[in-house]
Structure 1
């Protein structure tokens, strides 16, 4: 195949990929911190996805402290709430995020690196988790 034909093929393919993804370019310095406000990585322009992931990795998980975490009542009339100490637990360290807006926890790694094919294990990604009774 000649270089001209190859170049036309690659240019067409690149144009199709850009058209099929979001054409909207975002300012990566103004990405939302709260997991509740984030849009899916796949919805970003294909040419910006790596930059978006890099920004979130450098920021680290959203772990607000100095706030009053709301309590929830469970079946046995027990009051439970999120505990900021969970941020430092070995099994949660580095990925656990808390959303002030939705009062739920999310997984930063799931958000950044999950495959685009969803399954039933999206709790820490889409809706968040708030069953504080089963937190340990």
Structure 2
């Protein structure tokens, strides 16, 4: 069975509590549950990981490489806009990587318009709330079939 890794970044453990105007009231556990359900429907396994530590995120990306994950989805939160360490870890991967954001980062503050990951990911999905995650999983699975 193919395995896809969902990486949740900084402050995502606070989904459901932080800024409901941008992120709604869904919790991280609910997002992961939705991904698990879609994974079963698509016949793939989804492993989720969340951290507020940039080092731990890089280590989990390295583990995805070592474990031969079939694809990676990442919503790194604010790290998206400045973490060259995470960007370089993602560049090591040889599988499709899909960048995900619940909000439309291009319609928010100017600093959020730039993703340092853009050059090393297969594509970006943003602005669809929880659906962004499901679209991201579908895109990653589709990219491995191509």
Taking structure 2 as the reference length, the TM-score comes to: 0.28
Larger Rg: 1
Q: Which has the higher strand share?
A: 2
Taking structure 1 as the reference length, the TM-score comes to: 0.29
